[in-house]
Amino acid sequence: MLRYDYVQLFNTMRYSHLLNRNPALLNVVEHDLYLPHNMHMMVSATLDLMCSPLFDAAEIGHLREAAWLGQCMGRIGNLTTTWERELDEGDFTSGVYARALMQGDLTLRHLRNVDRQAIRAAIVNGQHEAHFLARWQEHRQAILAKSSQVKSVDLDQFVLGLQRLICLHLGSRGHK
């Protein structure tokens, strides 16, 4: 499983490279499928479980689902606080760009010409950050709902850690 998780992490890097070479590939579904792996949480969760003798292996599916949702939450914290810096770098892998493009708030011409003012306005006016922050809340609720199915790992503590993480992300906006 650890090897599988690392392969997914490497796929994220490949996918990001593809997106930056061809922004026409941007879409929310693939963003949400591939890019959360760059948060490295599935790898960390697998390593943690390997070192947890009290973990009930029968809960692995439920726990990996919770870890995946947590990884998505980490990605949301990252993408909502780095897209402006990434705009200046010409890095359009953030979900806010994918969503703005899919919603019609951005065009490929904006991205290809790196029209920073139009892109920034499209993200802000389209409330694309707010969309992802609402998704963060949905993921949080889904993890908490899993608490009844996972007894050998404290998912409430996991969620508390994710809440601290989003605070760190939001508090570091403009500094990373």
Instruction: For residue range 55-83, list pLDDT tens digits in order.
Output: 999 999 999 999 999 999 999 999 999 99
Q: Is residue 176 assigned to a domain?
A: no
- Nearest of 131, 165, 162 to residue 144 by alpha carbon: 162
- Return d(Cα 35, Cα 168) in angstroms, integer: 20
How does residue 174 score in pLDDT terms, banded at 50, 70 and 90? confident
Q: 69: which 2 tokens?
A: 């949702």
Domain that holds residue 59: 2-171
- Return d(Cα 141, Cα 139) in angstroms, integer: 5
For residue range 2-17, what is the model confidence (pLDDT) as tens digits? 999 999 999 999 999 9
Q: At what angle do helices 155-171 and 128-146 cross, to 10 degrees?
A: 160
Q: Is residue 103 assigned to a domain?
A: yes
pLDDT at 176 over 80: no
Q: Is residue 17 assigned to a domain?
A: yes
- Within 8 A by CB and 6+ apart from 47, the residues are 2
Full-model pTM = 0.94
Number of structural domains in the chain: 1
- Return d(Cα 36, Cα 131) in angstroms, integer: 16
* Direct distance between the N- and C-terminal alpha carbons of the chain, in angstroms, rounded to an integer: 32
